[in-house]
Structures are given as C-alpha cells and as structure tokens.
C-alpha cells in the first residue's frame, strides 16, 4: 500500500494504482479519502469499508466475512444502477493484501448537504427538489434490493449544479443486523434512525423514507425536533415523543407529517411521497409564509 516517488516523499498507494491524497471524512463504516487514479490521471474518492464495531469484528470473524461479502455484492448492485442521484462506483479493490474492501467512487466536489445547512435552512422548493433527487436514488436502490440505512445530511453530496448525490451505502451492507451491534454500538445516526429500526425491525424500505423525511424536516426548519442531549435520549424521543408540527415547511409540511408517522404502515409509499414532494417544489408561497 505504500511506495516511494524517486527522490520524492513517501506516498500511499492502494492496489498499486490509487494514491491517497487527503482524508475527506469518515463514519461508522470507514474513512473516505480524496485520491488520484494514477492509471487514468483523475481524482476519485476512495473508501475502505470497515466494520462499525471493531470488537464485534474480532469476536465474530464469520460475521465479518459475511459483511465483506455483502459489501461486495451490494457495491456491485449499486455500480449497475447508473442513477444520476447515486454516487458512481468505478472500481472495487478486493485482494488478499487488504484487510477490507476499498470502493473507488466518483469525487463529488460540491460539498455535503450538511455543509450547506451550516449556512442556514433551505427554501422549501429547494428542499423539495433535493428530496426528490434523494428519493429517486432510494427507489433505484430499493429496486436493486439495497437499503441505505443512514440517510442524513452528511451522506447527501451536492454537485456544483446542485444535483444531490446519495453516498455512503456502506451501512446497507449490514443486512439483517439491528440498529445496535452486539456491543451496543449504533448502526446509523440516532436522530435519523426510523422508530421501527430502533425496535429491531429491519428490512422495510419505508425506514429509509422516514430518514429522508427527517432530513428534509431539519433542512427547512433549521433544527432537529427530537434531538436530545444524549444518543439514548434521542432514541427514546424518536420512539415515544410526538413530532412537533413543522412551522417553516409551508407546502412541504403535509408530506413531512405523513412520512414521519411512527407506524410504517401509515406512511405514504415512495410514489405517493414523490408526488407530494413534486407539489411542494412547485408551490407558490403565500404572502408572509414559506412555500
């Protein structure tokens, strides 16, 4: 993984081809790097997919091996999607010299939705358009048998033209696991985990729609309605506390209230949710109120 430039500084190479340049970020499933593909002379994003719980990996090597297999299977499924709102996977590095697989992906240069929200809430039509893009990505993934399980502002990247790109499908590889690992580590972000997943019910694509709805609520309201001082308190609030009605969401309000129902059976399906988002994107704001 390492090499030397003749007469130059030490560099880090993956698969003898991808030069790691600088760290872009990381989460429960590993680190993401900006890298240079030396064969094609272009920049890419590189992610080493590691288990979210190192202790679990050591205690359960068979489970870790299964996770690796799922990572590769689902990465291949995503690579076949060719959807404009799903991050493009160029290549998979899986060789004996690497403990975990590396995913070679497109480098999205526009920053994340989380970065954008640090500057303030989104206007309702813009939030609805972002929501439709992410929903399109989720629908394509669900049709391919892949659930995301960690939809949140940090996992939505924005291309320079504003197109949202859903990334970090790594947690999706932990199919059949609960939201908590054997050692109590969370799989997913507490404030964006759907109530049924906290209760241990997995496999419902509607859980991703709930997470998208909460992301859009935060995007237009500028605050998370159920975030509390600790992860456990946040999980308890998501499970048991009523959702405060949005006050800035305007035409998006009914869609958010519907998709954020605690009972998955009460939520609109993806097609109905998309129609609601489309209507909100086109809505004309009433005087003195957001669209």
Domain residue spans in the chain? 15-105, 113-282
Percent of the chain with pLDDT strictly greater than 70:
82
Question: What is the pLDDT, as a whole number, of residue 171?
Answer: 57
| Mean per-residue pLDDT of the chain | 84
**Confidence bin at 261 (pLDDT 50/70/90):** very high
Give the tens place of pLDDT for each residue, 113-155.
Answer: 999 999 999 999 999 999 999 999 999 989 888 888 889 999 9
Spatial separation of the C-alpha atoms in residues 150 and 194, rounded to whole Å: 10
Helix (H) or strand (E) holding 239: helix 231-240
Query: Of the ranges 31-35, 127-131, 221-225, which one carries the lowest mean pLDDT score?
Result: 31-35
Question: What is the pLDDT, as a whole number, of residue 175?
Answer: 42
Spatial separation of the C-alpha atoms in residues 220 and 250, rounded to whole Å: 9
Using alpha carbons, select from 205, 281, 194, 277 the residue that is nearest to residue 243: 194
Torsion from C-alpha of 190, 192, 198, 201, nearest 10 degrees: -150
Using alpha carbons, select from 130, 261, 140, 272 the residue that is nearest to residue 195: 261
DSSP 84: T
Residue showing tokens 């698969």 = 15
Mean pLDDT of 251-257: 96
Q: How are beta strands 89-93 and 42-48 bridged, if at all?
A: unpaired
> Is 150 among the residues known to form the active site?
yes
Question: What is the pLDDT, as a whole number, of residue 59?
Answer: 73
E strands along the chain, which residues?
2-4, 10-14, 18-27, 30-37, 42-48, 89-93, 102-105, 156-158, 164-166
First to last CA, the chain: 52
Which residue out of 150, 208, 269, 274 is catalytically annotated? 150
Query: Of the ranges 47-61, 153-167, 243-257, 271-285, which one carries the lowest mean pLDDT score?
Result: 47-61
Give the tens place of pLDDT for each residue, 34-92.
Answer: 999 999 999 999 988 776 666 666 777 777 777 777 777 777 777 877 899 998 889 88
CATH number among 1.10.510.10, 1.10.10.920, 3.40.50.620, 1.10.3720.10, domain 113-282: 1.10.510.10
Question: What is the pLDDT, as a whole number, of residue 118?
Answer: 95
HSE toward the beta carbon, residue 50, CA cutoff 13 A = 16
- CATH number for the region 15-105 comes to 3.30.200.20
């Amino acid at each position: 993984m390492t090499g030397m430039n003749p007469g130059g500084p030490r560099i880090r190479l993956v698969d003898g081809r991808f030069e790691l340049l600088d760290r872009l970020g990381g989460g429960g499933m590993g680190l993401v790097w900006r890298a240079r593909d030396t064969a094609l002379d272009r920049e890419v994003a590189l992610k080493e997919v590691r288990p979210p719980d190192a202790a679990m990996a050591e205690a359960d090597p068979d489970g870790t091996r299964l996770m690796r297999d799922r990572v590769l299977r689902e990465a291949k499924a995503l690579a076949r999607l060719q959807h404009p709102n799903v991050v493009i996977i160029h290549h998979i590095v899986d060789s004996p010299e690497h403990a975990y697989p590396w995913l070679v992906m497109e480098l999205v240069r526009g920053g994340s939705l989380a970065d954008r929200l640090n500057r303030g809430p989104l206007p309702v039509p813009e939030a609805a358009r972002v929501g439709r893009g992410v929903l399109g990505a989720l629908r394509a993934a669900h049709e391919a048998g892949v659930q995301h399980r960690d939809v949140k502002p940090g996992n939505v990247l924005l291309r320079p033209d504003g197109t949202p790109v859903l990334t970090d499908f790594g947690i999706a590889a932990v199919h059949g696991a609960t939201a908590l690992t054997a050692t109590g580590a969370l799989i997913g972000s507490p404030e964006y985990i759907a109530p049924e997943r906290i209760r241990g019910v997995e496999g419902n694509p509607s859980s991703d729609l709930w997470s998208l709805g909460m992301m859009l609520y935060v995007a237009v309201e500028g605050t998370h309605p159920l975030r509390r001082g600790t992860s456990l308190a946040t999980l308890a609030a998501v499970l048991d506390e009523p959702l405060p009605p949005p006050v800035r969401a305007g035409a998006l309000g009914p869609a958010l209230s519907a998709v954020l129902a605690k009972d998955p059976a009460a939520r609109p399906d993806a097609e109905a949710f998309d129609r609601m988002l489309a209507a909100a994107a086109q809505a004309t704001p009433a005087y003195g109120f957001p669209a």
